[in-house]
Chain A
Amino acid sequence: MREKQIDKLKDYKYGFTTDIENIRAPKGLNKEVIKFISQAKKEPKWMLDWRMKAFERLKNLKEPNWQKPKYPKIDYQDIYYYSAPKSASEKPKSIDELDPKLLETYKKLGIPLQEQQRLNGIAVDAVFDSVSVATTFKEKLNEVGVIFCSISEAIQKHPELVKKYLGSVIPLTDHYFATLNSAVFTDGSFVYIPPGVKCPMELSTYFRINASQTGQFERTLIIADKESYVSYLEGCTAPMRDENQLHAANVELVALDNAEIKYSTVQNWYPGDENGKGGIYNFVTKRGLCKGINSKISWTQVETGSAITWKYPSCVLQGDNSIGEFYSIAITNNHQKADTGTKMIHLGKNTKSKIISKGISAGFSDMTYRGLVDISSKAKNSRNYTQCDSLLMGNKCGAHTVPYIKNKNPDSNIAHEATTSKISEEQLHYCQQRGLNPEEAVGLIVNGFCKEVLQQLPMEFAVEAQKLVGISLEGSVG
Chain B
Amino acid sequence: MLKIKNLNADIENKSILNNFNLEIKPGEVHAIMGPNGSGKSTLSNILSGKKGYDVSGEILFENKNIFELETEERAHKGIFLAFQYPLEIPGVNTNIFLKTSLNAIRKARGEKELDAIEFLKLVKLKAKELKFDEEKLNRQLNVGFSGGEKKKNEILQMSILNPKLSILDETDSGLDIDALKIVADGVNSLRKKDNSFLIITHYQRLLDYIKPDYVHVLMNGKIIKSGGPELALELEKKGYENFN
Contacts and interface: CB of A to CB of B under 8 A. Distances in A.
A435 interface: yes
B76 interface: yes
B53 to A, nearest CB: 12
A461 interface: no
Interface in B142-157: 157
Interface stretch (B59-67, B82-90, B191-199): B82-90
B170 to A, nearest CB: 16
B87 A436 contact: no
Main secondary structure of the interface of A (DSSP, over half): helix
A301 to B, nearest CB: 18
A374 B52 CA distance: 49
A437 B49 CA distance: 13
B97 A434 contact: yes
Interface in A234-272: none
A451 B104 contact: no
B123 interface: no
B100 A436 contact: yes
Nearest to B50: A429
Given A430-B86, A447-B92, A448-B90, A435 B76 contact: yes
B157 A434 contact: yes
Nearest to A441: B72
A450 interface: yes
A448 B88 CA distance: 11
A433 interface: yes
Interface in A432-477: 432-438, 440, 444-445, 447-452
B89 A429 contact: no
B108 A449 contact: no
B94 to A, nearest CB: 11
A449 B141 CA distance: 12
Contacts of B133: none
B116 to A, nearest CB: 14
Contacts of A433: 48-49, 71-72, 75, 80-81, 83
Interface residues of A, number: 23
Nearest to A426: B87
B122 to A, nearest CB: 16
Contact of A434 (B90, B91, B101, B140): B101
A436 B83 CA distance: 16
A460 B123 CA distance: 27
A434 B104 contact: yes
B89 to A, nearest CB: 6
A424 B85 CA distance: 14
Interface in A125-172: none
B129 interface: no
Nearest to B45: A429
A427 interface: yes
A430 B87 contact: yes
B70 interface: yes
Given A429-B71, A433-B81, A440-B104, A448 B87 contact: no
Given A430-B83, A433-B48, A448 B92 contact: yes
Nearest to B70: A432
B105 interface: yes
B104 A435 contact: yes
A450 B81 CA distance: 28
A435 B100 CA distance: 9
B161 to A, nearest CB: 8
A330 B141 CA distance: 24
B91 A451 contact: yes
Given A433-B48, A434-B97, A444 B92 contact: yes
Given A429-B48, A430-B86, A444-B100, A436 B91 contact: no
A437 B105 CA distance: 10
Contacts of A429: 48, 50, 71
Contacts of A452: 91
Given A440-B100, A440-B104, A444-B100, A432 B91 contact: no
A80 B161 CA distance: 59
Contacts of B81: 433
B72 A437 contact: yes
A435 B105 contact: yes
Nearest to B86: A430
A203 B158 CA distance: 46
Contacts of A426: 87
A436 B49 CA distance: 13
Nearest to B141: A448
Nearest to A452: B91
A426 B92 CA distance: 16
Nearest to A434: B101
B2 to A, nearest CB: 16
19 contacts: A427-B87, A427-B89, A429-B50, A429-B71, A430-B86, A431-B89, A433-B49, A433-B72, A435-B75, A435-B101, A435-B102, A435-B104, A437-B72, A440-B100, A444-B89, A444-B92, A448-B92, A449-B90, A449-B91
Nearest 5 CB-CB pairings of A with B: A448-B91, A448-B92, A434-B101, A432-B71, A435-B105
Interface of B: 48-50, 52, 70-72, 75-76, 80-81, 83, 86-87, 89-92, 97, 100-102, 104-105, 108, 140-141, 157, 161
Given A437-B72, A444-B97, 5 more contacts: A432-B72, A433-B75, A438-B72, A440-B100, A444-B100
